[in-house]
Chain A
Amino acid sequence: NAGVTQTPKFQVLKTGQSMTLQCAQDMNHNSMYWYRQDPGMGLRLIYYSASEGTTDKGEVPNGYNVSRLNKREFSLRLESAAPSQTSVYFCASSGLQGISGNTIYFGEGSWLTVV
Chain B
Amino acid sequence: QKEVEQDPGPLSVPEGAIVSLNCTYSNSAFQYFMWYRQYSRKGPELLMYTYSSGNKEDGRFTAQVDKSSKYISLFIRDSQPSDSATYLCAMTRGGAQKLVFGQGTRLTINP
Contacts and interface: CB of A to CB of B under 8 A. Distances in A.
Interface stretch (A60-68, A71-79, A95-103): A95-103
Given A50-B96, A98-B95, A42 B103 contact: yes
B42 A99 contact: no
A27 to B, nearest CB: 14
Contacts of B95: 97-98, 100
Nearest to B43: A106
Contacts of B42: 108-109
A43 B98 contact: no
Chain A interface residue count: which class? Answer: 20 to 34
A87 B110 CA distance: 29
Given A40-B8, A42-B104, A43-B88, A104 B96 contact: no
B92 A98 contact: yes
B44 A106 contact: yes
A107 B43 CA distance: 6
Interface in B58-111: 88, 90, 92, 94-99, 101-104
A98 B43 contact: no
B43 A108 contact: yes
Contact of A104 (B6, B8, B46, B102): B46
A107 B6 CA distance: 23
A45 interface: yes
A42 B86 CA distance: 10
Interface string A25-54: 000000001000000111111001010000
Contacts of B90: 43
A92 B104 CA distance: 18
Contact of B43 (A50, A101, A109): A109
